[in-house]
Structures are given as structure tokens and as C-alpha cells.
Structure 1
């Protein structure tokens, strides 16, 4: 959204930056990984999103005089020279990321930051927010698309989002996940998204009769004529009145480019079947039926299983808020630090095994079967490690007895350079290109991995060298 978010940080970012400055560590070179620990919604995968807004954030890094004065007014930072460093702050290091629309999995870095400690620590909160939120919404949207059997999912959750920016960026993420359009006009303008919408119940109620309301709307929008039919009585009033208007429009203007009804309450499966019967009996075979009302992927799946006569689904609250899991839980952890001109691996140990981090400078390599074009395994490797000759064996980093042989596979690295030495080297794709990337990525995974319920777990393994280093560091901790 081309907004300066430099002040968008937790206080501890500023206190740690101040501490690094005072202790002479601010220019130490470090590497951080951004990743998540668990797929959301019990899904088998996550769709990476949010990189474009991360780039905009980094490009716009700068502090105004009023922002510096605010930080001074807190009384927390006593050394005036610290503020001079903030005034001149910019990103000078390397940043690698998976392109938006890439299918990603727990524990593999989505972003790798390699720069001086002063900068790397500062950008933590903004990166986590942008990537976590948009990846979550994109994945939620994709689950709905997955069960709709090719029927469009229309996103219109702006009024239910947790704030304006969440609504706008959420709309963008929903399109990445597979939604066909958004009702959010600002998102449409900002990101060149298809917008769609009709009218509210208040339009109907503002006229003396439902028929008059429909007639007035039809006069204004004869080619985009979707009428909301449940204000008073769907089958006894709304639907018959809509059919009357369709007949008038056909006679006066000819067949509309798009026309139909929207159901927003009641038993959607039953009402859609009855509506389809009435529309077909009146000769309006291509009139569409749009359904809304607190829909999510579970409701859509049920409606489809009941053979509901619905042509498109309008989804709001439960998509834009990621209703059943409102956070992805991304983390940003120190992986390595350059000491005496040598990279030294760092690891976080925890009583919870899933919270133990993977140390070292790393890359993520995906191996795809050449014959079936099916992803077999993602291997997290040391950054300078050579790709092993095939065939070779991989093993689960927790349950090490679980092993498989990799052979006859092509491979590619997931993390791509975005910034090198502070310079932007990446050309951001269009939204349509990102959507295509999602489709191409998903085509590489088996039906079992994409299963809606209890999907097969995809293999994300550590190379032998990385696993050995991790075990060595854990053994050395006292």
C-alpha cells in the first residue's frame, strides 16, 4: 500500500537496537530465518504471500522528525547519537525469500535475512506481520476454492476485517489463494484486482416495495443485475419479483451480460434448489445463484455435497479474519552470526522439541520427480552445501528411522534473492502471475498432500550435515 511503516515495531526492537549500539554490536553481521511451525487450519500446506508488501516496507524505511521526537520523549534512550543512526537507517544487506504463491511447509525458511544486527533486529515485527497475515488468508481462501468444485469464491469481508489495512491486504491475499474477485474497491485499485458487488438489504428497504427497488436497480445496472431476494420472503416475494424484473429487462434491453439472484439467509441448499426450479421454468436457465451468509470451507463443502444449485459463493467474515485460526504463528530466529570473519551457527533449545531451531546459513531445495512432476521432498541444507548426487537417502529429522530414497528428480531452490547489499534485485510479479504460480505449485503435489481432511504429511527433511551440526550444538549447550 506504499505506506511508511518504519515506526511499526515492538518496543523491544528499539531497546535491542539501542543495546546493540551501546555494546558495540550494531554492525555485527547476522542471519535470521522467518518460518512457521505448523500449517494452519489442519491443512497440508501453506501458500506464501506478503512479499510485495515486505518490499514496499523496506523501500520506504525512514524516520520523520516527529517520529524521532516521539522516541526521544519516551525517556528510554539516553544517548543522542542513537537517534542519528535511526535518521540514517536503511536496509544494506541481503534478503532471500520464496516467491509469492509458492507452496511452503513448517520449519523451512520463507525469508532469510543476512545483514548487520542493527537492521536485522529492527525489521522483525513488520516482516512477521506481513508474511504471517497474508499467507494465512491466502491459505484459507484456497481451502474454500478447493471444495467449491470450480465455482467462483467472491471475497467481500472488508466490513468484518480487523482494520482497514487488514481488509485491503486480506483482499489481495484472498485473490492469491484463488478467489475470483473482491468487493473491496481500494484493494482493487491498489493491486489491480477484479471487483464485484450488488446491493444491500437497505436498498430494498429504502423503497416502498421490493418490486420498485428491483426495478430501479435494473434501470441503473441492466447488464450486471444480481438481485438480493431474501429481504422479506425469498420464495414468496423476492424470487417472483426478481423474475418479473428479468422479464422486463429482457424485453427492454435484451439479455443482460450477467444476471441472477443472491441468497443471504435461510437454508441455502433448499432455497437454491427451489430458486433454480423457478428460474428454469421461467426460461432463465443461465441466471446465476450466488449464496452468502457466514460461509466457510466446511459449509461450502456441505452445500456441494447436498447438490445445492449455487453458482458462486460470497465469503466475508470467516475468510478475511481467518476465523478458526487468526494467526499463522510465524517466528523470526537468529540462525548464524559472523564472529572474527567466520559464520558461527546459533541455535535455540527448548523444553518443547518443536521449538528447537535449525541453526546455520541455510537453503531450501525442493526435489520433484521428473516423470510425474510430483514433489517428493524439501531438503533444508547448509547454504554452501552441494546438491547430493542421486540416488541419495533422506530421513525425518525427528523420527530418524523414517527414510526414503531420492532418485530421478529435478530440483530447485525455494529462496530467491530479493535484496543484495541493500539493492533490490527482484522484479515483483503481477497478481495474475502469482495466482498462476499457486496453480503450478499445487500441480506438483499429490492428491493425498492436498486432501481437505487429514492430509498426508509432506516430507521436509534436514541434510545429514545440517542435522549433524544441530545435534552437535545441542550436545554442547550447558
Structure 2
């Protein structure tokens, strides 16, 4: 796989030529972080790392890419020759994929030449933002389902081919148990799951014949869609007839509802199944589900075993994007690295300068209580009382000594443009996500008015940031 480096915003290329022309292709450090949780939530899930690293290992400009750039009439021949040999040769530190993440904490720290680091910005954000959005959504849906299984049914509603594949991957990381996307199941090792469509039922002379034929073909997993004609008057009783025949053979069935009042219908279906000796039959529901609908149905004890979630899972539903950004944190000048900072009247958009580490602190029970940003030469040690500050420079602060060994969140995953470890199985990343979420109190994870998790900076980082603020405020644009 050789990915075109043209998968970037056009202005990255015009800036890259400017860096090259002015001799500014020096070492730089960029942070990728995000500003707010999606879905008005209290947590997010990091996803997309392995696909990103795979692309970065192979990214380059092909001859037709360079010919197109030349045709634009603004790129110099020398710069195009420079791009002929373009490869990403940088180093990357990253949060573990599947980790629970919070605003302002660097998810990726990229050390590379300024041209390289600038050109890959769009790719980094496109890959991480979408998969983190969907992994977060999937986590919320799975949490809402509690003991019920979540199946990702979103292929036909996903935003294009790559959107569907990426969404299936991220959904599985987030907690869905299987996918309807056959190619994703094959390529990514996700369990495949499917029922039947209304067209199967309509293609047969009768609903009963359609059910019988399907059950005979797939004896180990028969789920019958009962709402093609009349759910309670027809579909349910034809399914029960087939189910009773299969029960005599030691086999069980599933019933799928894809329309109507799920609460009411699932209760009527469960009652009829149980009265006819089909207590082991499962009820699968779908139809525009999201975490809010599922949470309500679960709280009302609707007898649903499996939740098929499509549109709202693979698109993010009400949330169109993840708020990840990519900002310059340091650049080499005169042989040494100098911190840089973007200043804004909006405190949320003022960045944290310098090469930084991120640590997670824990209480005596091993529960996470805060993430702390520190300069790379600082250490956060267990049992040492320190004062930490709000990253927006408001006066809020707190003093704390981590009762457990602080967890260093950023680990080196790529050196010289080569990944340092093979890709992880998705099941491993999925289990990591579950373990990470389990280390947070439920108040941070609840959907309604979640408690705000602390993200703070050390005193040294705060001083560096304040120094930049004073410098910027002292600038007279007219001078």
C-alpha cells in the first residue's frame, strides 16, 4: 500500500514549499489533541493509530501526483524534485489505542522535519478524528446496552467505502460484538453477523415458506425477520411455528424486529415465545437506534437480547466530527529546540507550549483522578505532593500525590518513519478500552451531566505558558 501524499489540504503544500524555499525545513514537534468531548459526554476513546502508522510507512508522491502539482503553475521545479524523495522519516509518541482520553492531552506527539510534519497534518486528523468519534459512540452504545450485545449494522448508511471500513473497525474497538460488513470481518478479524432482509421474505410465496427455507439452510444461527407484513398477527406466529419445529431438534431461533414500538412489540413477542416453549429464543431489534433510545429501553426492562445499530453508530449521529487539532509545539532554531504557542482570546484555543509528557494519576484504589501535562524534562512521581493548575490559566489549582505509579500516556510507536511494533489484534485494543474505562468512576462516564475529569498542567509548564502570554500582550502591532 503506497498512499499518495496528496491526501492533504492544499495549503499544506504551499506552506511546505515556503519552508523549503526559506530554509525552514528544520526539526519540529507537533501535538495532536482535541478540545471537547463529542455527544456532550465526559470521556472519549482513542482510535485509528494502527491504520495511521501503516499509511505513514508508505506515504509518498507518485509521478502523476507531481505532474498534477506542476500543472498548478505555482510549484517550483526544485521543490517538486525534493518531493520525489518525500518519505515520512519522523518519530511519533502516542497514547495507546483504545485508551480513554480527555481534552488538551496530546494523543500524538510528532517529531519530524517541518515539511514532513506539515504535509501529514490532514492525514493524521482525518484518520484519528473519525475513528475516535466512532469508537466513542460505540462505547456509549455498548454501555447503554449493559448486558445486551451490540451488532454494528451500518455498512449501507456509512459515508463511503473507507468510511464503512473505518467505522466497522472503530465500532468493534468501542464495544460492538460483530459487524454486518463482510469485508471488514475478513480483513480486520471482526466476527460477522447477519439476519435476513425483507426481500428474502417477499421473494417466497409465503412468509412461512421463507422462514422454513432459511432455517433449513442455516441450522446453527437462524434469526427470522418478522415485520415484513404484520408483526404480531403474522410474522410472530410463523416464526413460532418454525421455532417449535427446530426446538424438537435441539436448535433455537432468533426473532428480529426492525420497525414499530420496540418496547411494546418486544414484550408481546417475548410473552408469546415463552408461552410456546421458546424461552431460549433471542430477540434482536434494529431501526434508528442510538445510546439514548437503548438506555431508555433497558431502564424500562424491554426484553431485548441483541441491539442492531447502524446509522447513528457509523456516522456519529448527532455529532458530525471529533474536535481533534494539530498544533506546532516546538521548533529548532539556532541548534536548539524552542517552544512555540498559539495565543487566542478564546482560552480554549490557546495551546500548551513545548515538548510535553502526559501522565495519569490514581487514587489509593487505583482509580484515575487526573491527567497532568508536564514538560519533557519534568518527572511526576508516586507519593510526591505537587500543585497542578488548570490549563486555561485561570486561578484554579489542586495539590495531589498520586497513590499509585503515575501512568505515562505517551509511548514511542514510530522511529525514523518505521513502526516499532506490529499491529495489535483488534480484540486486544477492544479489551484495553474496556479496562481503561473501568479505571474511571461512573460519574465521569454517565451520559447526563457527567462529572468533569481534571486535566491540569505543572507549575513549570504554566510558567512557560504565562511567559508567552505576557510577551504576546506586550506586542504593539503598530510598532
- Coarse TM-score class (shorter-chain normalised): over 0.9
Match of 2:175 in 1: 178
Q: Note the C-alpha offset of 1:149.
A: 1.7
Match of 1:386 in 2: 379
Q: How many corresponding residue pairs?
A: 471
Moved over 6 A (4+): none
CA contact (8 A) 1:6 1:57 kept: no
Match of 1:346 among 313, 322, 340: 340
Q: Note the C-alpha offset of 1:3.
A: 6.1
Cα distance between partner residues in 2 of 1:400 and 1:57? 43
CA contact (8 A) 1:391 1:408 kept: no
CA contact (8 A) 2:387 2:458 kept: no
1:469 and 2:464 aligned:
yes
Match of 1:237 among 234, 237, 245: 234
Cα distance between partner residues in 2 of 1:307 and 1:73? 63
Q: Note the C-alpha offset of 1:396.
A: 2.2
CA contact (8 A) 1:50 1:100 kept: yes
Alignment of 1:73-112 (within 5 A): 73-77=71-75, 79-112=76-109
Alignment of 1:366-377 (within 5 A): 366-369=360-363, 371-377=364-370
Q: Note the C-alpha offset of 1:407.
A: 4.0
Cα distance between partner residues in 2 of 1:71 and 1:80? 10
Cα distance between partner residues in 1 of 2:237 and 2:460? 71
Cα distance between partner residues in 1 of 2:68 and 2:402? 59
Cα distance between partner residues in 1 of 2:73 and 2:239? 65
Cα distance between partner residues in 2 of 1:313 and 1:401? 43
Q: Deviations over 1:179-209 (max 9, x none)?
A: 0001011111121111100111111111121
Q: Deviations over 1:299-327 (max 9, x none)?
A: 00111122111001000001101011010
Cα distance between partner residues in 2 of 1:459 and 1:354? 15
CA contact (8 A) 1:155 1:179 kept: yes
1:214 and 2:211 aligned:
yes
Match of 2:430 in 1: 435
Match of 1:127 in 2: 124
1:422 and 2:420 aligned:
no
CA contact (8 A) 1:17 1:121 kept: yes
Alignment of 1:391-406 (within 5 A): 391-398=385-392, 399-406=394-401
Match of 1:63 in 2: 61
Match of 2:52 in 1: 54
Q: Deviations over 1:185-236 (max 9, x none)?
A: 1111121111100111111111121111111111211211000000111000
Q: Deviations over 1:269-327 (max 9, x none)?
A: 11001100111111011100001000000100111122111001000001101011010
Q: Note the C-alpha offset of 1:99.
A: 1.1
1:191 and 2:185 aligned:
no
CA contact (8 A) 2:215 2:222 kept: yes
Cα distance between partner residues in 2 of 1:216 and 1:459? 57
SS at match of 1:449: helix
Q: Note the C-alpha offset of 1:5.
A: 4.2
In structure 1, list runs of 5 or more residues that go unmatched. Answer: none
Match of 2:351 among 348, 352, 357: 357
Cα distance between partner residues in 2 of 1:4 and 1:420? 19
In structure 2, list runs of 5 or more residues that go unmatched. Answer: none
Cα distance between partner residues in 2 of 1:143 and 1:400? 33
1:303 and 2:297 aligned:
yes
Cα distance between partner residues in 2 of 1:144 and 1:261? 21
Match of 1:273 in 2: 267
Q: Note the C-alpha offset of 1:266.
A: 0.5
Q: Note the C-alpha offset of 1:73.
A: 1.6
Match of 2:316 among 322, 329, 341: 322
Cα distance between partner residues in 1 of 2:228 and 2:133? 34
Q: Note the C-alpha offset of 1:259.
A: 1.9
Cα distance between partner residues in 1 of 2:20 and 2:226? 64
Cα distance between partner residues in 2 of 1:248 and 1:451? 44
Cα distance between partner residues in 2 of 1:377 and 1:191? 34
Cα distance between partner residues in 2 of 1:9 and 1:274? 53
Cα distance between partner residues in 1 of 2:267 and 2:54? 47
Q: Deviations over 1:24-50 (max 9, x none)?
A: 112x11100001100111111110000
Closer/same/farther in 2, CA of residues 250 and 301 from structure 1, 3 Å limit: same
Alignment of 1:447-462 (within 5 A): 447-462=442-457
SS at match of 1:301: helix
Q: CA RMSD, aligned part only?
A: 1.3
TM-score, length basis structure 1: 0.96
Cα distance between partner residues in 2 of 1:471 and 1:53? 37
CA contact (8 A) 1:35 1:331 kept: yes
Cα distance between partner residues in 1 of 2:116 and 2:357? 21
Alignment of 1:154-165 (within 5 A): 154-165=151-162
SS at match of 1:92: coil
